[in-house]
């Protein structure tokens, strides 16, 4: 039972701390310190009450302590990351200027970015710690979404990623990716989830979403999912020999799955795109045409481009506002702009990654690492794809390609990352075993 003397002291300290989220941690830490002090005084005084009063006196002025703790535990805002988000958001409108479908999508992009900003702010001020124990809800919901896609999904480009209801089409596969991201972040905080027979269960939980993504079929989403879970696993500090063996087995199995699917899917759209990447001239009248077209546009870009108003050459590039936003911007504004954009995205991703090292909370660190992976892998793939160095498989450029569900998805991830940073000095440091 807590001492009334301690309670009075702690109440005075807490009254000076504005962050209510830090109250519980401060009270717990100070109470523990007061108990230690009172025990040290028990042999020097006649009663427990005198020992507690002595401990309180030793601590000093509660209001002064509260003011210092208020500065220490003040919620942080990563204004640099927010500024980068605004700059990248402004760039996202450039592919819609002078582009054929731009007039149709410009207003919608404003709406999507407005919704994305609302989602970002909502997650920013939401206590991410409350998501930790919901992992099984996120996981089962993600699996459920992927299971209903083959039945109720809307197919586009040979992939059933979308669900349409009430005239609104939603990228359900992207929503499931967010759910699995949150689920595995929670799983990796459970110290007993990789012991004994549970390793077999974790192996099954890992491969079910991967196989469901491949059944859509969506090779990029399978790779994004695999990369995200792998990076979160590595940074979860569960790197015992048994875990190393487990992750090695999963990597080998993943490679076998991909090779098997590529071999058995010859003649499919995915197969044609992958093989046409290796020899585009052979598939000139099919998927290879895009590689040749992009190569020609990039070669004609120059350092300062051909202008955003476009011409007949750039108008021949399909999906210039989505998958091929990067080659469109390079052709229109030149390689000087393209290089600057790559540097901007690298700084953006680096800043996110730096937040992981500044986070005291293990769960927050895993969230930041997973979020950074889900932004970095598609960004790198899209840029390489846009210059002809990676297969064209329908990967959008985060925050720049024309939005929708994907923009909401990336905004939610960034909001969670900013929420972790905001509370980096508030959450309790977990005890290391």
Domain boundaries, the chain: 4-72, 79-422
Residue 310 has pLDDT above 80, yes or no: no
The confidence score (pLDDT) of residue 2 equals: 64
Kindly state the percentage of the chain with pLDDT values over 90: 25
Provide mean pLDDT across the span 260-287. 63
The confidence score (pLDDT) of residue 410 equals: 95
The confidence score (pLDDT) of residue 234 equals: 81
* pLDDT-derived band at 19, boundaries 50, 70, 90: low
Provide mean pLDDT across the span 295-317. 75
The confidence score (pLDDT) of residue 433 equals: 34
Residue 272 has pLDDT above 70, yes or no: no
What angle, 0 to 180 degrees and rounded to 10, lies between the N-to-C axes of helices 79-91 and 405-422? 170
Residue 337 has pLDDT above 80, yes or no: yes
E runs forming strands in 30-165: 154-156, 159-165
Residue 156 has pLDDT above 80, yes or no: no
Residue 4 has pLDDT above 90, yes or no: no
Question: What is the average pLDDT score of the chain?
Answer: 80
The confidence score (pLDDT) of residue 84 equals: 93
- 270 touches 157 (CB < 8 A): no
Residue 314 has pLDDT above 70, yes or no: no
The confidence score (pLDDT) of residue 432 equals: 39
Q: Which residue has the tokens 């900003």?
A: 117
The confidence score (pLDDT) of residue 121 equals: 94
Residue of 385 and 35 predicted with greater confidence? 385
Helices (H), 42-101: 48-59, 62-72, 79-91
3-state DSSP assignment of residue 228: helix
């Amino acid at each position: 039972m807590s001492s009334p003397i301690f309670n009075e002291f702690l109440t005075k300290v807490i009254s000076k701390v504005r962050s209510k989220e830090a109250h519980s941690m401060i009270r717990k830490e100070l109470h523990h310190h007061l108990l230690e002090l009172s025990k040290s005084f028990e042999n020097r005084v006649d009663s427990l009450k005198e020992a507690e009063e002595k401990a309180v006196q030793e601590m000093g002025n509660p209001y002064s302590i509260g003011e210092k703790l208020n500065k220490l535990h003040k919620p942080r805002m990563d204004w640099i990351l927010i500024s980068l988000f605004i700059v990248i958001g402004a760039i996202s409108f450039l592919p819609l200027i002078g582009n054929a479908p731009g007039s149709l999508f410009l207003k919608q992009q404003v709406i999507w970015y407005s919704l994305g900003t609302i989602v970002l702010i909502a997650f920013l001020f939401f206590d991410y710690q409350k998501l930790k124990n919901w992992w099984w809800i996120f996981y089962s919901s993600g699996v459920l979404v992927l299971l209903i896609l083959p039945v109720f999904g809307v197919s586009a480009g040979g992939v059933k990623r979308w669900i349409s209801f009430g005239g609104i089409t939603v990228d359900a596969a992207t929503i499931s990716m967010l759910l699995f991201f949150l689920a595995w972040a929670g799983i990796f905080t459970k110290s007993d989830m990789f012991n004994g027979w549970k390793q077999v269960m974790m192996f099954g939980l890992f491969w079910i979403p991967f196989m469901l993504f491949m059944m859509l079929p969506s090779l990029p989403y399978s790779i994004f999912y695999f990369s995200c879970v792998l990076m979160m696993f590595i940074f979860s500090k569960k790197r015992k020999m048994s875990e190393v063996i487990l992750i090695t087995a999963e990597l080998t199995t993943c490679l076998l799955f991909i090779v098997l699917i590529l071999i058995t899917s010859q003649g499919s759209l995915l197969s044609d795109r992958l093989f046409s990447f290796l020899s585009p001239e052979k598939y000139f009248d099919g998927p290879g045409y895009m590689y040749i077209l992009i190569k020609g546009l990039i070669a004609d870009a120059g350092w300062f481009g051909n202008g955003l108003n476009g011409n007949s050459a750039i108008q021949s590039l399909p999906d210039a506002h989505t998958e091929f936003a990067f080659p469109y911007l390079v052709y229109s504004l030149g390689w000087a702009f393209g290089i600057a954009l790559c540097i901007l995205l690298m700084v953006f991703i680096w800043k996110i990654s730096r937040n992981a090292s500044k986070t005291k909370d293990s769960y927050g660190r895993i969230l930041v690492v997973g979020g950074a992976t889900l932004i970095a892998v598609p960004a790198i793939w899209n840029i390489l794809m846009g210059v002809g160095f990676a297969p064209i498989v329908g990967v959008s450029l985060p925050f720049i390609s024309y939005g929708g569900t994907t923009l909401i998805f990336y905004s939610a991830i960034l909001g969670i990352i900013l929420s972790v940073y905001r509370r980096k000095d508030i959450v309790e440091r977990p005890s290391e075993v």
